[in-house]
Structures are given as structure tokens and as C-alpha cells.
Structure 1
Amino acid sequence: MTVRYTENSAYFLDFDGTLVNFADDPEGVYVSDELRQVLTELEQITHGAVALISGRSISSLSNLIQLPLSMAGSHGAEWRVGDGDVESVSLESDAFQDIKTSLLSFAEVHGLIVEDKGHAVALHYRVKPELKALLDDYIDGDLMLGQRTDVRVIRGNCVREIQPKGVDKGVAIARFMGMPPFAGRVPFYIGDDTTDEDGFAWVNARGGVSVKVGDGDSCAQERLSDPGEVFAFLRGQLDKLRQLNDRTKSRTGSDR
């Protein structure tokens, strides 16, 4: 499917399931040199208006992508611009610490892969899909987290993540759009999961472009099938931006 092109975009990109395929071990995903090159060149040609928007921590993203890109981690609870310092908001409470302790104990007993992000805790069942129902029963039944007003349960692809309320990917995009080099551009967001819907909704409300990767209901305007199509699309965007720059330089030169 052809995704519409915009000349003055700020590019916001989810990571897992969007730029890279999932892996059994979250830290074992494969990031190709070709993807790094495209992201580097896109960041350069937009003068820095490219950011990763992820549920991962910034530490995890940095270790995997190995590029000085702007990033929002933990669904917007932490962020950095370019290779600057990491900033964050503190949403934790004693109640959340108790919830996190319970979830970590559950993960250890049942052999689930767990990410303690500080701002959130994620339990992955990709290697043990048979535990999905048991995990959901524990979250919704034993802990009754779905009834609480102070935390949100994020039901992602083979993962359940619990985080204090107050941030989401829409908030993360809004924060970047209020500062250079993103301000004044058209927001363009690509994501694949339920956590990306907040980002899609924010972008849609502001005349931007939202793209859902894969199947499933979504408020996104357009679709790509998988990370391979996302890579091809970004490479195509880069080619169009180069052509635009070349035409601009040619006109400027002819006016002299």
C-alpha cells in the first residue's frame, strides 16, 4: 500500500515490530547496518527531526540501535533529544512498588522474561505462550489492576506491561513537537501495537500521518505490512527528500 508523502515531516518511529522483528529475548532483536544507515541519513536530511518512541527503556534502545537519535523510552516516561542527557518524569509510588514486587515474583516463579524499567515493569510470555491466560488472570484477578485508577495495563504483543498513569506515546510525541528541531513540522508516526494508538490519535488530531504496521483494528490512517515494508518506505522517503533538496539547490543556483 502506498503511504502518502509529506515534505516537512517530523518522523516518530516505534521500534519493536515496526523497525525490527520481535525476538524471544527482547535484547536479542536484530538491527541491521542498513537500517542504521537509513535512520542516520533521514536524521541528517531532516536536521534531527527523527525520534524513536518505544516502550523500551532508553538504555535498551541505545544499546540496540547504537545511534545518537532522539528517543522517548518507557512509553514517554523518559526522553532525550539527540545525544543529550536523559530526562524523565517520576510516576512511581509505594503502591506501584508493591505491584511491581508482586509481578517480579510471579515472573520468577513461572519463568517469564521480565523487564524492570523502573518507570514500568513488563512480563514477556513469547517463549511460553501457554501462560498468557494465567498471567492475565493474575493481573486482572489476583491483583485487580484493571480496576485501579493509578496504573495502566498495557496489553502488547506477547507482553503485559504495568505502568503508573500519566504518560503515553501521544504525550511523548507532543513533548518533542514542542521543541526544536521537531516544532513546526508535520508529525508522522509509524507503530504496530496497542500502545501506539495514543500516538496515532495525537497525530491524527493535528493533521499528521499515522501508519499502522500489521493487522488489527486501529485509528491509524494508513497501513504497512511488516518491518520490511517500513524499511522500504523510509528508504523511499529519504530518496524523495534528497530529490527535493537537489531541486531546491538547483533553483537557488539558477537564481544567482
Structure 2
Amino acid sequence: MRSHPHPPTPDNDMPVPATPAGREGLAALRAHPEHALVALDFDGTLAEIVPDPEQARAHPDAVPALAALAPRLASVAVVTGRPAGVAVRHGGFAGVAGLEHLVVLGHYGAERWDAVTGTVQAPDVHPGVAGVRAELSGFLDELGLWRGTWVEEKGRAVAVHTRRADDPHATFDALGGPLAELAARHGLITEPGRYVIELRPPGMDKGVALASYAREVGAESVLYAGDDLGDLPAYAAVEKLRSDGVPGVLVCSGSAEVAELAERADLVVDGPAGVVRLLSRLAEVLAAARPQ
């Protein structure tokens, strides 16, 4: 493992992590970007949260920022609970100059899209997903909680959204236990998010996906940005990497809905727009340090 310098004097408009570990991680990334991995959640991080997930699109400046940054790094990865192909379409990632080696780890790492091939690699769908899908409408009706909820089909998972309910928070809380029981009957687990509960197969999460990919690319520093409870395993993976001597930065795409991430983050930015500004500024700083 190469040695890393002390944190440099901060640029006037470059966000500075609030923690020593975060400052060390950012300094390591800036010192040796060719050995750095930048990994990002999609919804709430690169794209605004919207009532209908099918209408979510990456921030208009996200792709240009990533395209400017990616060629200077070991790798850029999008780590999302969405199907990989959906994230690629909604992000506009395919066929972009500068993103020739982008990787999208979808369904918490169960699927993988590589820009190099333009194809998705994925295992067979867990049979429990079909069982849950068949039961879910009647299940919500029996609970008296169907009004205002919305079921999202995700191929390898099913998600129940409560954002449209009269009381999204109360409906979310009321569904937690029953949906966990339903998932367990079909060999699935639940993943809570921002007014959404996803029922999905066990064995993969963003932390497993991130740690595996970091090993694959030989990352010697890692920056991860997320916004939701499903990103906590990825935060834990970065913290484990730091304990093993790999510097890392935890970025929170700020939201009043999820305080847990902000409390653990090294750097909190103002939603997807703040994430994009960070990526753009980082690309500029790296370009100034090492013109191509």
C-alpha cells in the first residue's frame, strides 16, 4: 500500500470533510486518483427523489460531471437498488464519451452493467419474488393500507411506496412489520428506504457490492455518496476499508428525511445538486493538478 500525504490546503470552493478520516480519504484520492474508486447511489444522490420512480432522471449536470471525472480515476460505479438497465436508461449513461468504463451495480449488486460491453449480467430471479408479487395487492387490501400506496415492479424485487398516502410516515410504519413477515414467508428480506419498503432476495447489499468491486479494481481510496438507509451497508464497507488501511470519504446527499446518514458522513452536501457540484469541482481540481 502506497503512503498517502497529509491533507492538502483546501481550495477555496472545494468542500472539506468535517472529519479527519474524511479529509485523509479526500487527500488520498487527490494524490493518486488513478487508484481511486468513486461510487454513487442513484435515487436521491444522482437523481432527485420524485413521487413516481419511473419519472426519476439524473441531474442534468450529473453525466457531464462524471464524464469529466471518470477518466482520471481507477473506476466510477453506480450502486443502486434499481435494476441495472433502468439506472442506465434513467441516468443517460450509455454511449457517453468519458464513461467508457462505467459500471452500474444494480439490485444491490445482483446485476451488473458494464459500459465496455453494454450488457447486463444477472442471476436467475428468486422464486419468492413471484410469490410476493401474487399476494401483495390482496395483502395490502386486507391490512386496509392499500389507499395511497403504490407497488413498484423491479424485476428481481418488489417495492411498496407510501409517499402518496395521506400520512406517508404512519403508513410506512404500519407496513414495516407485516411486509417483513410476508417477505420472510417467501424467503425474502425487506429493505426500508425513504417512504418505500423493498422486498428482495437476501445475500446482497450495497456494502457487499461495494467491497467486492473495490477489491476487483484494486482501489487504494474510495469515495461513496448516498442518501438513504439502503446506503448504510456501503458506509459500513467504507469504514471497514478504512480500518484496513484504505482511506475513504463518506458523502451524504443531504435530506431531512434520513438523519442516520448525515450523522455518519464525513461530508454532507445539498442533495443531488450538491453531489454534482462536488464531482465537478473534484474533476476540475484533478485536471488542474494533472492535465491530460
Give the TM interval when normalised to the shorter protein.
0.7 to 0.9
1:127 to 152, 156, 164: 164
Following the alignment from structure 2 to structure 1, what is the Cα–Cα distance between the partners of residues 78 and 179?
A: 35
Output one character per residue of 1:157-206: Cα deviation in whole Å (capped at 9) or x when no partner. 12111111100001111232233xx3233121000100000001001111
Structure 1 counterpart SS, 2:198: strand
Listed as ranges, the matches of 1:37-76 within 5 Å are 37-46=64-73, 49-68=75-94, 69-76=102-109
| 8 Å CA contact 1:197, 1:220 repeated in 2 | no
Alignment partners' CA distance in 2, 1:174 and 1:74: 15
Opposite residue 154 of structure 1, the aligned amino acid is E
Give CA-to-partner distance per residue, 1:124-174, whole Å, 9 cap, x none.
Answer: 222225255446535523762487694321111121111111000011112
Q: Which amino acid aligns with 2:82?
A: R
* 2:121 corresponding residue in structure 1: 87
Q: Number of matched residues? A: 243
Structure 1 residues 101 and 209, CA gap change in structure 2 (3 angstroms): same
Provide the rounded CA distance (Å) in 2 between the counterparts of 1:241 and 1:102. Answer: 52
Contact 1:213 1:227 in 2 (8 A): yes
Aligned partner (choices 191, 194, 214) of residue 157 of structure 1: 194
Check 1:193–1:138 CA distance in 2 against 1; reply closer, same or farther (3 A cut). closer
Q: Which residue of 1 aligns with 2:209?
A: 172
Structure 2 residue aligned with 1:253: none
Q: 2:288 aligns with which of 219, 243, 254?
A: 243
Match of 1:20 in 2: 47
In the alignment, residue 16 of structure 1 is paired with which amino acid? D
Contact 1:107 1:113 in 2 (8 A): no
Percent sequence identity over aligned pairs: 27
Q: Which amino acid aligns with 2:273?
A: G
Distance 1:56-1:107 versus aligned 2 partners, 3 A rule: farther
Aligned to 1:232: 277
Deviates more, 1:12-21 or 1:62-71: 62-71
Query: Any conservation in 2 of the 1:72–1:172 contact (CA below 8 Å)?
Result: yes
- Does 1:77 pair with 2:135? no
Tell me the residue number matched to 1:31.
58
Gaps of 5+ in 1: 250-256
Counterparts of 1:169-208 in structure 2, within 5 Å, are: 169-179=206-216, 182-207=217-242, 208=248
Task: Please give the alpha-carbon distance, in whole angstroms, between the structure 2 residues aligned to 1:34 and 1:14.
Answer: 16
Contact 1:18–1:227 (8 Å) recurs in 2:
yes
1:97 aligned to 2:130? yes
| Farther off after superposition, 195-204 or 6-15 | 6-15
**Normalization by structure 2: what TM-score?**
0.73
Paired with 1:170 and 1:236, the residues of 2 have a C-alpha distance of 26
Distance 1:167 1:143, change over 3 A: closer
Q: What RMSD over aligned residues (CA atoms) do the two structures have, in Å?
A: 2.7
SS of the residue corresponding to residue 131 of structure 2 reads helix
Q: Is the 8 A contact 1:201 1:220 kept in 2?
A: no
Query: What residue number does 2:99 align with?
Result: none
SS in 2 for 1:127: coil
